[in-house]
Amino acid sequence: MSKTIGVLGCGWLGQPLAQSLVLKGHQVKGSTTSTDKFKVLENLGISPYQIKLTEEKVEGNITSFLQELEVLIVNIPPGLRKTGNGSFIKRIEMLLRHVEDSKIDNVLFVSSTSVYGAVEGDITEETNPNPITNSGKQLAQIEKLLLANKRFDTTIIRFGGLIGPNRHPINHLAGRTGLTNGCELINLIHLDDCILMIETILNEAYWGSIFNGVYPYHPTKKDYYTREAEKRGLDAPQFIKTEQTIFKKTIKSHLFYVKSHQLLTTIVS
C-alpha cells in the first residue's frame, strides 16, 4: 500500500532510500540543508525541502514538510565530531515539538550500534546499551525519548558501520601504521541491506521495536582490512599488539532474522 513518507536527511543513505521508496510507489518528501540539492531530488521524484535542526529551533518550513506524512524517517547523523560538545538531543527535541503537532503515526529513527559501547560478547536487541562516546550516549538518550513518546509509535534501527558505493573504511585505513584495534571484530552493513531493512519495517509495520542492522560476518579488523586492501591493490594497514582493553563484540541482527528476514548483500569485496 502506498504511503506518504518523509525522509529527514537525504544524505549518503537517505537519498538512495528515498529514491527506492519512490520507485516502489510511495509519495516521498525529502529534506536537505541546502537548496543546491533540490534539482537532484526533484529528478528522482522526491519533493525537496530545506530543513535544518538547531538547538534553538528548526529552520525551514517544517510544518509543510510534516503535513500529510504517515511515516517520518529521521536519518540525521549527530555530527558531534564537527560541533564538539553540541547537543544532538536538543536538536531532536526541537523536531519533536513539531512532530507532536502533526498527524504522523509512525517514526523510524536511524541510530547506531555505538550505543552498545563497552558491552562485549554476542549482542542482540535485548542487550542493555553501555555507550562510552559522546555520540553514543546522546543517541541512547534520544532512543529512550522517542520510545517513551505516546503520541506516535517509534522503531529504532541501530546500524553498524556503513559501507557501499564510494564508502569503505579501508579507503582511509590503507597504509596507516601503529593501529591498535586489530583484534576487534567488524560489525558492518551494506547500504543495500540498510534500505532492505527499512523497507521491510515499513511493509510489515514493525512499529514499537528495536532492530540491529549488522551483516552476519565478523572477522577481526586485522584480517578483514588486510584482505580488503589486497583486493584493491592498496597498502595494507599495519596493526600492532597492545595492552589496552579491546572490546570484542559480535552484534547480531537477531530480531530481523527471528521475523524470517535475511540480510542479502555481502560486505566482502
Q: Would you state the pLDDT for residue 1? A: 83
- Percent of the residues in the chain that have a pLDDT greater than 90, as a whole number: 93
Per-residue CA distances from 195 to 20, 44, 45, 62, 136 (Å): 8, 16, 17, 24, 22
The confidence score (pLDDT) of residue 82 equals 56
The tens digit of pLDDT for each residue in 10-63 reads 999 999 999 999 999 999 999 999 999 999 999 999 999 999 999 999 999 999
Question: Residue range 205-230: average pLDDT?
Answer: 98
pLDDT in tens, 107-123: 999 999 999 998 999 99
Mean pLDDT of 238-267: 92
The C-alpha angle with vertex 51 and arms to 116 and 16, in degrees rounded to 5, equals 65
Q: How far lies 239's CA from each of 173, 181, 218, 245, in Å?
A: 11, 7, 17, 15
pLDDT, average across residues 143-172: 97
Q: Which residue has the higher pLDDT, 242 or 172?
A: 172
Per-residue pLDDT at 248:
87
Residue 85 pLDDT: 65
Residue 243 has pLDDT above 80, yes or no: no
**Mean predicted confidence (pLDDT) in 207-233:** 97
Question: What's the pLDDT tens digit per position in 185-215?
Answer: 999 999 999 999 999 999 999 999 999 999 9
34 — alpha (psi -120 to 50), left (phi > 0) or beta? beta
Res 118: pLDDT: 85
User: What's residue 81's pLDDT?
Assistant: 60
Q: What is the mean pLDDT of the chain?
A: 95
CA distance 65 to 18: 14
CA distance 123 to 111: 16
Q: Structure pTM?
A: 0.96
Sort strands 249-251 and 4-8 into parallel, antiparallel or unpaired: unpaired
Core vs surface per residue 48-77: b (16+ CB within 10 A) or e:
bbbbebeeeebebebeebbeebbbbbbbbb
Q: What confidence score (pLDDT) does residue 246 get?
A: 74
Q: Cα separations (Å) of 88 from 10, 11, 44, 94, 212?
A: 18, 17, 29, 10, 21
Contacts of 233 (CB under 8 A, 6+ apart): none
